[in-house]
Structure formats: C-alpha cells, structure tokens
C-alpha cells in the first residue's frame, strides 16, 4: 500500500473511499482509454489450481481468521486515473445489450428453507414472504431478511493481501455466484482480487455467510481475472473482477447455490438493489445488507454510476441488480460496490458493465476447472 495512505476514518481531504478502496478526486483532463480492435483482453492469474493447494487454502480459513479479517485500507492515492467520459464503454452507446439468464440450483443439492430458529418449513416460507413484502425500494443500508436466491448466491470473499504496507494481512470483500458455462464463476470488484500491483492469495468465496456460519461451504479460487485497465493501472472505472472456484464434493458452485443472471451494456439510471457484507462500523460483516434506489451518473470524477447507500468497507464487490424481484431474491447483476467519496459517505459508486466487464465474464466462464 502506498506510503501516503491513510485510513478511511481519518482522511481530511476530498478523496474517493472504496468500500475497500480510496483515491483522490481527479482534476483536469484524463487520457482516453481505447480498446484494441480485437476487443478487451482480461488479465488472468492462476490461484489455487491444484487439489493440494485448494485443501491448504480451505484449511487456512478457520472461523477465527474469517472473523478477524478486515476490509481493505485505502490504496495509494498517486497511482489512480480515470478514462475520459465519452466512450462506448462508459455509456453503452454503440454496444449490443447482453442479458444472461439466471441458473437454478440442482434440486438434489440446493439448500432448503427448512428452519429459521426452529420454525417449520411452511412457517419459514411464510416469514420469508412477509419479509419480502416489506422490502423497501429505497434504503441506504438495511439487513436483508427476505431470504431467496440473493441470500444463497451472495457471500463473503476472504483473501490475504500480498503487496503494499498491508502485505500479509487477511481481508474481506463480497461477491456473487452467477450463471456460467462452467457453473463456477463469482463476480466481485477488481481491488478484491488485485491491489498495489499484486494479486491476493488464499482467495475463497463463502456463499450465504451468516454470523460465522458457512451453510453452502467454502470455495477456493483456481483462477482470478480482472479487466486490463484495472490490471495495468488500477483504473476505478474498470474495478471489476471474476473468480473461477473449484468444485466441492463433486458439485460445481451454481449446482449448489444457483446463479444470478448478468446484464451488460444496459441503460443507466435504473432502479437498482445493491448487496454486500459491510464490515466497517456500524456493521461487523456478519450479515447481508442491502441498499435500494435509482442510480445516477457520477458527475465528479469517474464514469461510474452512483447509488444512495451507507454500506461500508467489506461490501466491496457486492452485487448491484436491475430487474430485481424481492419475492424471489433474483435479478440481473449489472455492477458491483466499488468506491465512495469520503466527503459523501451516503453514496456508493459502481463501474458500468460494458464490453470490458463482459469480456471478463466470458473469459471466466470459459475457464476450465481444475
């Protein structure tokens, strides 16, 4: 981490504070980022790609280590930049909208809603229906109690930082299981896989994490992928990543928890629901939290979209959904929690899912499992 970094709580100058990352507001014109004619090419990093490494990583993440994991501190302030605002990647013009349908979990391995504090299955379903009916379309950060697909597919991400002043520290983010050809893709933020020029180690996804419980297992990453812009310069406009996780017990990830749909090159300014596991005060990372509202364009520094949301560090990488149905907990993933301005903690920003995000997703779903 850059030596000029300060923690989020004590920053006194205008800066961008990620739900795990922070940087100063950009000034002046920035260079336009152009894409090669062949299209975006994601960066790919091998993680725990052998069964021995996967067992080691799973054993590393004890309950105590997970509980002690902290959100990322702010990255260095001198090495971030923004692309110019006028580009097809930023506003969806000149690109083809793409929608990928969700995946339903295998009925033989899908978690059941059998009990809630001793409640019967029918009572649990009634409680979930009542909770869904009370979901607000506008909230800045409330506990999610309605269950459904989002409670299974969203989870905490744990890893060890390998570069900067925080090298060796265990940290947490959020992520989402999405439908994919290999049934094994998790979408998260770029800084949740790589920061300060190095990929993280000991990377795992824990879907459905709840107060320390791991109802759907612990899934080590075999491969980590991010945009070329995040890989080369940690450009916040492209703070997006994917992980391919190893099968567990002979089952792939979406066989067990299902997978949310994904949408690229969509119109801006839509009703959106954001989810994550914020671990910074007043939250503690133990439960799933959500925000709801209509997105708006960042008029200060980036090409990102904003949402009124009070989630804190640890929620980085958590999903933003359009066409979200509170009664089922399903929607189309259309961005992730990325950063905040420290002078506007009531706003969260997420990258636009354009061709670069689509390329990361496609490369991840074509990755062979090990």
Q: The domain that contains 176 carries what CATH number?
A: 2.40.10.120
Query: Domain for residue 11, yes or no?
Result: no
Query: Domain for residue 118, yes or no?
Result: yes
pLDDT of residue 289: 97
pLDDT of residue 88: 38
Rg of the chain, C-alpha, whole Å:
19
Cβ neighbours of residue 351 closer than 8 Å, sequence gap 6 or more: 236, 237, 238, 239, 240, 303, 304, 335, 336, 338, 357
Query: Domain for residue 12, yes or no?
Result: no
pLDDT of residue 327: 94
pLDDT of residue 74: 44
Query: Domain for residue 179, yes or no?
Result: yes
Q: Report whether 179 contacts 254 (CB < 8 A).
A: yes
pLDDT of residue 209: 97
Query: Which residues of the chain fall below pLDDT 50?
Result: 1-17, 20-37, 74-90, 111-120
Structure tokens at 132: 């869904």
- Number of domains forming the structure of the chain: 1
Query: Domain for residue 173, yes or no?
Result: yes
Give which of 11, 16, 42, 369 is closest to 193, Cα–Cα: 42
Give which of 267, 221, 263, 264 is closest to 49, Cα–Cα: 221
Query: Domain for residue 33, yes or no?
Result: no
Query: Domain for residue 331, yes or no?
Result: yes
pLDDT of residue 126: 60
Residue 239 structural domain: 39-365
Give which of 194, 227, 175, 177 is closest to 72, Cα–Cα: 194
Query: Domain for residue 133, yes or no?
Result: yes
Q: Report whether 221 contacts 343 (CB < 8 A).
A: no
């Amino acid at each position: 981490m850059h030596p000029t970094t300060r923690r989020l709580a004590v920053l006194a100058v205008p800066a961008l504070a990620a739900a795990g990352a922070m940087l100063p507001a950009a000034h002046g014109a920035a260079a336009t980022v152009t894409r090669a004619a062949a299209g975006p090419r994601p960066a790919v990093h091998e993680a725990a790609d052998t069964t021995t490494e996967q067992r080691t990583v799973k054993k590393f993440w004890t309950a105590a280590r997970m509980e002690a994991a902290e959100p990322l501190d702010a990255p260095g302030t001198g090495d971030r930049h923004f692309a110019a605002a006028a580009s097809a990647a930023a506003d969806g013009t000149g690109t083809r909208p793409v929608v990928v349908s969700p995946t339903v979990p295998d009925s033989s391995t899908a978690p059941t809603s059998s009990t809630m504090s001793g409640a019967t299955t029918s009572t649990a379903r009634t409680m979930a229906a009542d909770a869904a009916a009370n979901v607000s379309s506008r909230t800045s950060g409330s506990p999610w109690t309605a269950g459904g697909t989002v409670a299974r597919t969203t989870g905490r991400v744990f890893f060890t930082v390998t570069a900067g002043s925080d090298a060796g520290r265990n940290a947490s983010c959020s992520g989402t299981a999405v439908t994919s050809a290999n049934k094994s893709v998790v979408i998260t933020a770029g800084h949740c896989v790589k920061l300060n020029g190095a990929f993280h180690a000991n990377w795992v996804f824990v879907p459905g994490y709840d107060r320390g419980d791991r109802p759907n297992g612990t899934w080590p990453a075999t491969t980590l992928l991010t945009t070329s812009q995040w890989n080369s310069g940690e450009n916040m406009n492209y703070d997006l990543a994917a992980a391919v996780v190893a099968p567990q017990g002979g089952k792939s990830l979406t066989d067990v928890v299902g997978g949310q749909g994904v949408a690229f090159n969509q119109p801006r300014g839509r009703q959106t629901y954001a989810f994550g596991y914020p671990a910074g005060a007043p939250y503690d990372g133990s439960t799933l939290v959500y925000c709801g509202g209509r997105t708006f364009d960042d008029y200060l520094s980036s090409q990102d979209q904003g949402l009124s949301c009070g989630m804190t560090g640890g929620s980085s990488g958590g999903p933003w959904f359009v066409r979200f149905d509170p009664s089922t907990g399903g929607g189309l993933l259309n961005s992730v929690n990325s950063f905040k301005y420290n002078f506007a903690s009531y706003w969260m920003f997420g990258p636009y899912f354009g061709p670069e995000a689509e390329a990361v997703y496609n490369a991840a779903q074509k990755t062979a499992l090990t």
